[in-house]
């Protein structure tokens, strides 16, 4: 980028272009629209499991009918995509994670339900075993070790069933090595070549995921931690290597997760690869903002400000629980 040419003060007065709303609008560098938003929703199969999530005030677990209503809301507000996360029956979680590729699990039923009422809405799914894993991990576990290659085989089975149910975008969030190439190869060979992959390419082992685990019923189940497969928060170059690998293996889009604490990584990914780049404003980020807003410590305008920061950092889109609120505001 060339250095700006500025006449000395007072010929240059940068405040001139901030003087009125019209001038500020004409010189806005970063724009946010509903088309930049993906709305994550939680869908429950547990009787009485619907309702507000205490650690995420304002966010609900939904029934299948609630998921349909969310899809209709998204269409009305021009939000292009929903991302489904399952709240599954704890009594059916196993160490083999067999329900992950059951066509009748709650995630696959939600895909079909949403497509019934909003066939043009893009449906994104989560590809990881933790919603169905008795020990809370994203992969299969043997003797305390998360198995990479065996997990990838399971993820392929999971992905093919989701594609069959009608998913438009698969979101591998597991951080196993080699899973993007395996998923892309399986989709091609099974006639699902048009299904997109939005890879969680740089997913950090973060403390900001706690409320999400409450939402999907995984809190208290996790044995150990996820540091052997999710990334060290101190590492930047490794994130770029992960993104490069996933793009080379066939990812259509890439994601950085969490969002606001890692905006430097978002910017580098976009600048380095010029690929469609996304970030997830995760549950802990949401809980911090919403908690401060509800306590009167911050005004609600910080929500819009936070999402503009994602766009300024190079993100083409943001997964955010604020999607319907922001889309209403923008409308």
pLDDT in tens, 193-228: 999 999 999 999 999 999 998 888 877 678 889 999
Distance CA 228, CA 6 (A): 50
Confirm if 215 and 41 have CB atoms less than 8 A apart. no
pLDDT in tens, 148-198: 999 999 999 999 999 999 999 999 999 999 999 999 999 999 999 999 999
Q: In terms of Cα–Cα distance, which of 40, 97, 69, 116 is closest to 283?
A: 40
Bridge partners (DSSP) of residue 39 are 82
59 in helix, strand or coil?
strand
Confirm if 305 and 299 have CB atoms less than 8 A apart. no
60 in helix, strand or coil?
strand
- Give the other-Cβ count within 10 Å of 261's Cβ: 16
| Phi, psi at 42, each rounded to 5° | -110, 130
Q: What confidence score (pLDDT) does residue 223 get?
A: 82
For 27-59, b where at least 16 C-beta lie within 10 A, e where not — what string?
Answer: eeeeebebebbbbbbbbbbeeebbeebebbeeb
pLDDT in tens, 280-320: 999 999 999 999 999 999 999 999 999 999 999 999 999 99
Q: What confidence score (pLDDT) does residue 1 get?
A: 67
Helices (H), the chain: 21-26, 64-76, 106-117, 148-165, 179-189, 210-215, 237-249, 263-273, 283-294, 301-312, 323-330
Q: What is the pTM of this model?
A: 0.96
| Domain layout of the chain by residue ranges | 32-330
pLDDT in tens, 66-104: 999 999 999 999 999 999 999 999 999 999 999 999 999
* Residue 17 burial by Cβ neighbours in a 10 Å radius (0-12, 13-18, 19+): exposed
* Tokens read off for 74: 């998204």
pLDDT in tens, 2-49: 788 889 999 999 999 999 999 999 999 999 999 999 999 999 999 999
pLDDT in tens, 243-291: 999 999 999 999 999 999 999 999 999 999 999 999 999 999 999 999 9
Q: What confidence score (pLDDT) does residue 217 get?
A: 80
Contacts by 22-30 with C-beta closer than 8 Å and gap 24+? Answer: 29/312, 30/308, 30/311, 30/312
Query: Given 3.40.50.12160, 3.20.20.70, 3.40.50.1370, 3.60.20.10, which CATH number is that of 32-330?
Result: 3.20.20.70
Q: Would you name the residues annotated as active-site residues?
A: 203, 257
């Amino acid at each position: 980028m060339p250095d700006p040419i500025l006449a000395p003060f007072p010929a240059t007065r940068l405040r001139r272009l901030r003087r009125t709303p019209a001038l500020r609008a004409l010189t806005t560098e970063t724009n946010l629209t509903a088309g930049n938003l993906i709305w994550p929703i939680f869908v429950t199969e547990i009787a009485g499991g619907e309702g507000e999530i205490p650690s995420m005030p304002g966010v609900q677990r939904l029934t299948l009918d609630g998921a349909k209503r969310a899809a209709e809301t998204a269409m009305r507000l021009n939000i292009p995509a929903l991302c489904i996360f399952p709240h599954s029956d704890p009594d059916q979680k196993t160490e083999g994670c067999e329900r992950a590729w059951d066509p009748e699990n709650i995630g696959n039923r939600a895909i079909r339900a949403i497509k019934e009422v909003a066939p043009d809405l893009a449906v994104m799914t989560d590809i990881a075993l933790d919603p169905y894993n008795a020990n809370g991990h994203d992969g299969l576990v043997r003797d305390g070790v998360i198995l990479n290659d065996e997990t990838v085989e399971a993820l392929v089975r999971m992905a093919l069933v989701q594609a069959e149910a009608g998913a438009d975008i698969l979101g591998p969030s597991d951080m196993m090595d080699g899973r993007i190439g395996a998923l892309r190869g399986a989709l091609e060979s099974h006639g699902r070549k048009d299904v997109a992959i939005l890879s969680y390419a740089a997913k950090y082992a973060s403390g900001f995921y706690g409320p999400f685990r409450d939402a999907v019923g995984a809190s208290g189940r996790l044995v150990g931690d996820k540091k052997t497969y999710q990334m060290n928060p101190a590492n930047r170059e490794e994130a770029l290597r992960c993104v490069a690998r996933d793009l080379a293996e066939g990812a259509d889009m890439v994601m950085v997760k969490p969002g606001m604490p890692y905006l430097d990584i978002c910017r580098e990914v976009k600048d380095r690869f010029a690929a469609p780049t996304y970030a997830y404003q995760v549950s802990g980020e949401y809980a911090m903002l919403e908690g401060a807003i509800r306590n009167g410590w911050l005004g609600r305008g910080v929500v819009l400000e936070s999402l503009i920061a994602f766009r300024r950092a190079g993100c083409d889109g943001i997964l955010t629980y604020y999607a319907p609120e922001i889309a209403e505001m923008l409308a």
